[in-house]
Amino acid sequence: MLLWRSFTRVLPLSARELEGWRERASSIPDPELREQALASLRLKRFHSDGGCVYATGAPPGPERERLVRLIVAFQTISDYLDNLCDRSGSLDPEDFRGLHRAMTDAVDPHAPRHDYYEHHEQREDGGYLPALVATCQEAVADLPGYSAVAPDMLELVGLYCDLQVHKHVRVEEREPRLIAWHAAHRQPAADLEWWEFSAATGSTLGVFALFSAALDADVPPETVQQIRAAYFPWVGAVHILLDYLIDQDEDRHGGDLNFVAQYPSRERAERRIERLAGRALGEVERLPAARFHRLVIQGLVGMYLSDPKALRDPRHLRFAIRLTARTGWATSVLHAASRGYRLRAAH
């Protein structure tokens, strides 16, 4: 039912939103900003499509459309800014902080407009980034239970933005900054290494789960706290570590920081990801609609280990079999569905 609803009801809405932003991006005056915006939409669209699984439980009609619009716009900001930070050549933390102010503004319906490109070399985006921010602000303002999730939302987004600043500065500064940052936030992540904590902050899934919860005008405070505790750090860590796992060769060649490469061996990394996945599954069992959140974790395994980079590597295939056994039979179904989605998206 989840797959059927995703493919027939939600992904068409996501495709429509993404096409609208692609058209808007194609009109960006600055060629570098235009290139990065279009590249993020083309190469990372599965982030938005995957995030929209949180809209499958929304009532059909305006509420579902609004939630899809919000998820796509927010994820598009994230992917666009990630490209700018990775590809622009800037190493200025103030530049990264200014750009990512767009994300904290996006989840604050009362935030005033800011100049996100204040410290950036390229500036003329034709209103692309402000339009994404405004779309998010309008959507969150219409979520009936948003006031209940807003404090946790702002904290999670703030941590995400901090990560983007720390991991994009000069190479020799990255690890010391991230280690010190982790030390200052040990309370919610006492069982995590600094790179695992960093990975957990890099996931937007907790944000999407809170967006979805805010559809309920009477969402209980304890539900909000349960969602936050399950997604940060556990589900978030599994999400991003799987992403980094399959990107190790690519990051090594590009000189990029890779969190999975911090483990002393591949075997240790795989065992640890298995363990974190088990903890995440245990945490989501406490949530309302636990089955849905369990499927999200299984879907993460299926999606990332169906990446062509993973399918070409026998080590990834062996790990996929082990992790499927650990996370449940539905993972194999979602793995097959993810391969079908990738083939469809490629055409």
Share of the chain above pLDDT 70, in %: 98
Cβ atoms of 202 and 240 within 8 Å: the answer is: yes
Q: pLDDT for 94-103, tens place per residue?
A: 999 999 999 9
* Full 3-state SS string of the chain: CHHHHHHHHHHHHHHHHHHHHHHHHCCCCCHHHHHHHHHHHHHCHHHHHHHHHHHCCCCCCHHHHHHHHHHHHHHHHHHHHHHHHHHCCCCCHHHHHHHHHHHHHHCCCCCCCCCCCCCCCCCCCCCHHHHHHHHHHHHHHCCCCHHHHHHHHHHHHHHHHHHHHHCCCCHHHHHHHHHHHHHHCCHHHCCCCHHHHHHHHCCCHHHHHHHHHCCCCCCCHHHHHHHHHHHHHHHHHHHHHHHHHHCHHHHHHHCCCCCHHHCCCHHHHHHHHHHHHHHHHHHHCCCCCHHHHHHHHHHHHHHHCCCHHHHCCHHHHHHHHHHHHHHCCHHHHHHHHHHHHHHHHHC
Question: What's the whole-model pTM score?
Answer: 0.94
Q: What is the predicted pLDDT for the residue at 347?
A: 63
Domain boundaries in the chain? Answer: 1-142, 170-347
User: What confidence score (pLDDT) does residue 82 get?
Assistant: 94
- Given pLDDT bands bounded at 50, 70 and 90, which one contains residue 190? low
Per the model's pLDDT, the better-predicted residue between 303 and 88 turns out to be: 303
Confidence category of residue 294, pLDDT binned at 50, 70, 90 = very high
Q: What is the pLDDT of residue 303?
A: 86
The answer, yes or no, to whether residue 189 has pLDDT greater than 70, is no
Q: How confident is the model at residue 86 (pLDDT cuts 50, 70, 90)?
A: confident
> Residue 306: pLDDT above 90?
no
Q: Which residue has the higher pLDDT, 316 or 146?
A: 146
Q: Give the tens place of pLDDT for each residue, 33-44.
A: 999 999 999 999
pLDDT of 318 reads 86
